[in-house]
Structure 1
């Protein structure tokens, strides 16, 4: 009888301890939820993507080329800001042969929806294209046609006000401002954990002068070599159909780049 009583008491103590542990765990879960509610959701990361390329030759030929591309994204709840910039510079025996750069800003709302309002602002300079500068801005719509993980396809269309500063041909520059429409495709295929295929294409056209249109295309493959570092190979086509008569319409660029992807958590 005494042993049975001792065994029963021990079982009762074990059950009491288990119940106390369960109560403590439940209280801890409640406390975690209260703390999370007080602190709020974790901010979205600042997504940064940088591509750098540099080539220099000496000897029989003296050339140097530099390229830089940066893409930045930051979401604020349903609001998304995107900034893209790229620049290319080349010299051959001390003579400048390429000097082109472009910046584009985008605002999307609501970013969490498949369909979003978009506003675009772009500015370009290309010293050897026949256009001293190009400016364009206007509203549009963005559609997430296919969402990750394996494939991602974004389609975007904008109605724009455009202004081209055309290189001087008779002693003075010519300014051409007009309404235009732009369509853009942005496709990403995550082949596996290490490799990604990218295809970006855009078409911008003067709505009153259809032969005045611009096509940009970038095809790229990226391979990861470390946590934030990758190597990229890309082929870019920049086509201006209504370029000045003494200029080549198509610029083609082949690049091998070091890529840095860094996504810090920042609070604003």
Structure 2
């Protein structure tokens, strides 16, 4: 009678564990390296569209469209925002505005950066053909973690506004103060707040933008926003205060 020693054909348990764990350790190390050393630059964007139509005593329709692009890098961060708003009441245009803003920031440390802003706005009912602003200043990130960040900016700027009545242009140097706050309330829910003041010898403007975005699924989200701006000196027949409340559908990419 012959006895077969099956253990002689069984691989060592230590060697088997090493053979299984070695590839896993390599993958884990590569993933950890990717987390600690992210690849730059990083691009992301969002396209928004909102439309409202009412019928009855008055027929009103409005369209609000926004495109936002962000580029994050080791040194330079870029944010481009394009916005369009049109509204009609009984087939007569009551609002028409197009605006573009470019923010370019040069980071020095985790908290200190150089803040540059360029904006152009055409508002058919503002009393101006167009309004432009360029500013450069110092920025400081007061809060910087995964769920919150708070930025404060200050610096000089130059404002050039072309009047609609052919009475010339308004141009002056201004002092720009701005604050930006972001709060990730929970997964898929984000709050944004921006407040800026541009003050000069001819006029002072205030602007506030608040928004709450909630993800529906995948790349789609809904956004509720409130915009408010105030100008202390305006052309004749123009309003000092403007406000907008909007609900839009957002596609993130």
Interval containing the TM-score (normalised by the shorter chain)? 0.7 to 0.9
Contact 2:83 2:100 (C-alpha < 8 Å) held by counterparts? yes
- Larger-gyration structure (1/2): 1
- The match for 2:176 is 182
Q: Would the alpha carbon gap of residues 61 and 43 (structure 1) be closer, same or farther in structure 2, given more than 3 Å must change?
A: same
Quote the Cα distance in structure 2 between the aligned partners of 1:151 and 1:159.
27
Q: Please, what is the CA RMSD of the aligned residues?
A: 3.0
- Once the two structures are superposed, the pairs formed by residues 116-195 of structure 1 within 5 Å of their partners are 116-168=113-165, 172-195=166-189
- 1:252 paired to 2:243: yes
Distance 1:193 1:99, change over 3 A: same
Give the secondary-structure state (helix, strand or coil) at the position aligned to 1:191.
strand
Match of 2:218?
Answer: 227
Quick check: 2:69–2:79 contact (8 Å CA) kept in 1?
A: yes
What is the aligned residue count? 245
Change (3 A) 1:16 1:53: closer
Aligned to 1:53: 50
Q: Cα distance 1:246–1:19, how it changes in 2: closer, same or farther (>3 A)?
A: closer
Mark the CA change 1:146 to 1:41 in structure 2 (over 3 Å): closer, same or farther: closer
Deviations for 1:111-130, whole angstroms, at most 9, x for unmatched residues?
76211112221111111111
Q: Tell me, which stretches of 5 or more residues in structure 2 are unaligned?
A: none
Tell me how far 1:14 sits from its aligned partner.
2.1
Pick the structure with more strand per residue: 2
Cα distance, 1:194–1:77 mapped onto 2, change above 3 Å:
closer
Q: Is the 8 A contact 1:67 1:89 kept in 2?
A: yes
The alpha-carbon deviation at position 7 of structure 1 amounts to: 10
Identify unmatched segments of 5+ residues in structure 1. Answer: 263-268
**Where does residue 110 of structure 1 map in the other structure?**
107
**TM-score, normalised on structure 1?**
0.79
Matches within 5 A, 1:56-95: 56-95=53-92
Give the alignment's TM-score, normalised by structure 2.
0.84
| Aligned twin of 2:204 | 213
